[in-house]
Amino acid sequence: MLVLGRIPGENVLIGDDICVTLEDVKWRAVAITVQEGTRFPYRKHLQEGERFQLAPDIFVELLRVQSSRVRFGFIAPPHIHILRGEILERQ
């Protein structure tokens, strides 16, 4: 499991075509937007401790909510790249 901290507006890129953006943080819950390739983005709400399947072998879990900072756990096969959005923005 890869653990990443995020704040609202930050995203995570998974593989070649999945983007998960943290939209809103509430007490022990968050709203994320998931964009998969050319499909319309959709919004998903997660409670602390909840796991969501993004693809057949890719999962995101909301590990902890602390103020506006959130910790996500990402589970994916080793050949799938998981990057913080700001890493690609720098290049």
The model's pLDDT over 39-73, given as tens digits with 9 standing for 90+, comes to: 899 999 999 999 999 999 999 999 999 988 999 99
* pLDDT over threshold 90, residue 33: yes
Model confidence at 79, in pLDDT bands (50, 70, 90)? very high
Dihedral Cα 64, 54, 46, 42, nearest 10 deg: 130
* pLDDT over threshold 70, residue 18: yes
The per-residue pLDDT of the chain, averaged, comes to 94
Strand partners, 59: 53, 75
pTM above 0.85, yes or no: yes
